[in-house]
Amino acid sequence: MSRKQDLLSLMNIDISWMKNISHDEVSHTSFEDLELNSRYCDKCSLSETRNNVVFGKGSKDAKILIIGEAPGKDEDQSGEPFVGRAGKLLNEILFSMKLTRDKVYITNTVKCRPPENRNPNSDEIQSCSGFLDSQIDSISPKIIILLGKVAAESIMNTTETMASLRGKVHYYKDTKIPMLVFYHPAYLLRSPSEKRKVWDDILLMRTITDGC
């Protein structure tokens, strides 16, 4: 056990995830411990360049879990997901759904910023998947919304295009939790003509959430 792990253990902070234990065992860790643990995580090289771990934010009882790809520069500085221009647009999309941030939970596939805002690679996504799996277990959302191709590819293990992934109901792993794929707000800022398609996505989401 490393010196850091020794210290965390002495503080009664759960360190089981550091020892690559099974997902079932990790799921017994409380949400707060998990978030605290993430601050010390060095399971992948993104730990070397991050300023802050961006674990996620919102209601732990949320019916809607929103997953983006990775923190960017503003998120790395603030420690919060989806701030800056893309975050503002996400707020507007949530408003269209009659929602606010405190009613949903927002996170990313990896919790630390990839340098130069590159896409996270498969090793980094795999290293961080224990945190995301545990967040999903703990929140137990009624629906998951994946923002953009990177989130969809990594969680659904697919190489299908956004055009074929959008507008369909998918399911999270072997559960009955429905998942929808939306355009990433950063993409919508670059391609404003696509914004109108978000309304179709919201209508599809409502057909699922209205029954929740």
The most distant pair of C-alpha atoms in the chain lies apart, rounded to whole Å, by 55
Among 15, 41, 186, 202, binds ligand SF4 (CB under 6 A): 41
Is 44 one of the binding residues for ligand SF4 (CB under 6 A)?
yes
Phi and psi based region of residue 157 (left: phi greater than 0; alpha: psi -120 to 50; beta: remaining): left
Instruction: Check if the beta carbon of residue 155 is closer than 8 Å to that of residue 120.
Output: no
Nearer to ligand SF4, 128 or 188 (CB): 128
Q: Which of 29, 38, 134, 135 binds ligand SF4 (CB under 6 A)?
A: 38
Bridge partner list, 182? 147
The verdict on 65 binding ligand SF4 (CB under 6 A) reads: no
Nearest to ligand SF4 of 112, 146 (CB atom): 112
Residue of 16, 27, 47, 51 interacting with ligand SF4 (CB under 6 A): 47
d(CA 128, CA 112) in angstroms, rounded, equals 9
Residue 20 amino acid letter = N
Which of residues 36 and 208 has its CB atom nearest to ligand SF4 in the complex?
36
Q: Which of 102, 23, 91 has its CA nearest to residue 63?
A: 102
Kindly state the number of chain residues that form the binding site for ligand SF4, as judged by CB under 6 A.
14
Residues 112-151 that bind ligand SF4 (CB under 6 A): 112, 124, 127-128
Q: Is 101 in the site for ligand SF4 (CB under 6 A)?
A: no
DSSP readout, 66-82? Answer: EEES---HHHHHHS-SS
What are the residues binding ligand SF4 (CB under 6 A)? 38, 41-44, 46-47, 53, 110-112, 124, 127-128
